[in-house]
Structures are given as structure tokens and as C-alpha cells.
């Protein structure tokens, strides 16, 4: 039961974080953040922007924590 509650809590937290991150207001295309027009041509060869890196930080933190829990779980003796 404790594992189910932990999994539900982690899933809820990550869903909330990603939902709030996606809901932030974005400027319209062709405008800067302050409302002024962005001049000039688009930068050539631009791929998908990483942004502030929050998603990567959270993903790697979750992977790290999951690995730690897995290793600790394997080290604990099984009670019969």
C-alpha cells in the first residue's frame, strides 16, 4: 500500500509540474517578450530549443532517484 501511495504522489507531482510549465504565457510569433516586434530574419539552422532545461533536470533527477530506490531495494534482505 505504501508503494502505491508513493507512486501516486510522485505521478501527481510530476503531472502538476509539467502542466504548470506548459501553461506559462508565451509571446506571439514574431514578437519579443516585451511586446515589441522582433526584427530580422530567423536564425538559420535553429532546431528545437532546450529552453531553461527544467524538463531535463527533472527527468534526470527522477532517473537518479529511481536508480537509488532500485539499488536500495535489492540490498534489503527479503523477510519470509
Q: What is the DSSP letter of 30?
A: T
Q: Where is mean pLDDT largest: 5-9, 15-19, 39-43, 71-75?
A: 5-9
For 26-69, write each residue's pLDDT tens digit: 666 666 555 555 565 555 555 666 667 788 888 999 999 999 98
Sequence spans of domains, the chain: 52-80
Dihedral of alpha carbons 43, 35, 24, 62, sign: positive
State the average pLDDT over residues 10-26. 77
Q: Would you state the pLDDT for residue 78? A: 61
Q: Would you state the pLDDT for residue 43? A: 56
Amino acid at each position: 500500500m505504501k508503494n502505491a501511495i508513493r507512486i501516486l504522489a510522485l505521478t501527481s507531482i510530476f503531472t502538476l509540474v509539467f502542466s504548470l510549465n506548459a501553461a506559462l504565457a508565451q509571446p506571439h510569433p514574431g514578437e519579443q517578450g516585451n511586446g515589441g516586434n522582433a526584427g530580422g530574419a530567423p536564425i538559420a539552422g535553429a532546431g528545437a530549443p532546450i529552453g531553461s532545461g527544467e524538463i531535463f533536470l527533472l527527468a534526470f533527477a527522477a532517473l537518479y532517484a529511481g536508480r537509488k530506490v532500485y539499488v536500495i531495494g535489492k540490498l534489503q534482505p527479503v523477510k519470509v
